[in-house]
Structures are given as C-alpha cells and as structure tokens.
C-alpha cells in the first residue's frame, strides 16, 4: 500500500519511531510508510546508524527459534463434534418460523383422532332426556341411597 498524496511526507521523528518499534527489516514496517522510509534512509546517516543498532537487536531476537513438535495425527485422531455456524438473525427467525409451522402440522395430526371421535359421538343416538336417575344420585347422600335400596 502506498502513501496517499494527501498524507504529509515522512518526518525524521516518525522514521525513528518506526525503526525503534519494528526494527531494521522493511517487511515489518507499516506498509504505507515503507517506501518513504527507505527513501529517507538513503539520505540520512542518523537513520542509517539507528537502523544498524536495530539490526543488532534483530539478530539477537532471531536466535530464539523454539523447537516445534508435530501433533497432526493426535489432533486429527481426537476431534470432537463440530458446532453449527452462527446464523444471521433473519435466518434464525426464518428457522424458528418454519419449525413453528412444522409444529402446527404435528399438532394438527395429533388432533385429528380427537376430531373424528367428536364427530362420531355427534352422529350416534342422542342422549336420554331422562335425568331422574342422575338427579337421584346427585341429591341424595350415599348412605341414604344404600338404605333406600
């Protein structure tokens, strides 16, 4: 990425900040300031000296290369179940709505035998209007019913 024309030219102070923060290697410098810093370095002995100091520290840092142990087989052999990816809220809403529709279908299916039973009941003989026996049982205590018998 190159510096945009509206950006001010790289100052000496900023060039020093970059070298002190990122070290001597251009590939670690901020991409948009890399070109300007290289140009500035070419004509500034002060910056060149600073870069040399930074380079010495870089060389020391490069000496620490930890050993790497390969665990690919163990990792691939012991993988747990995967989780579902996060959905957009609209998709989640649609999923809830659709599952609701499925729920209604299941409920309707379950209610069908009840409805059939109700219709069957209506189509049979009308119940008797003679309430005398029921009234007798409701309005008399069990002991009285037994003694009357």
Handedness of CA 23, 25, 26, 30 (dihedral sign): negative
| CB closer to another protein, 66 vs 121 | 66
Contact residues toward another protein (CB under 8 A) are 17, 20-23, 28, 30-31, 54, 57-58, 60-61, 63-72, 74-76, 79-86
Q: To the nearest whole angstrom, how small is the minimum distance from the Cβ of residue 28 to another protein?
A: 7
**Residues 6+ positions from 10 with CB-CB distance below 8 Å:** 3, 33, 36, 37, 40
| CB closer to another protein, 64 vs 104 | 64
Q: To the nearest whole angstrom, how small is the minimum distance from the Cβ of residue 22 to another protein?
A: 7
Q: To the nearest whole angstrom, how small is the minimum distance from the Cβ of residue 108 to another protein?
A: 34
| CB closer to another protein, 67 vs 149 | 67
């Amino acid at each position: 990425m190159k510096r945009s024309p509206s950006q001010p030219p790289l100052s000496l102070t900023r060039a020093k900040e970059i070298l002190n923060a990122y070290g001597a290697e251009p590939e670690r410098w901020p991409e948009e300031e890399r070109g300007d810093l290289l140009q500035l370095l070419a004509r500034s002995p002060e910056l060149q000296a600073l870069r040399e100091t930074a380079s010495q520290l870089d060389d020391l840092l490069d000496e620490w290369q930890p050993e790497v142990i390969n665990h690919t087989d163990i990792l691939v052999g012991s993988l747990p179940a995967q989780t579902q990816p996060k959905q957009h809220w609209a998709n989640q809403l649609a999923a809830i709505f659709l599952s609701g529709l499925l729920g209604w279908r299941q409920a309707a299916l379950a209610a069908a035998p009840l409805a059939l039973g109700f219709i069957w009941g209506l189509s049979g003989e009308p119940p008797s209007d003679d309430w005398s026996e029921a009234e007798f049982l409701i309005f008399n205590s069990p002991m009285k019913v037994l003694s009357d018998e």
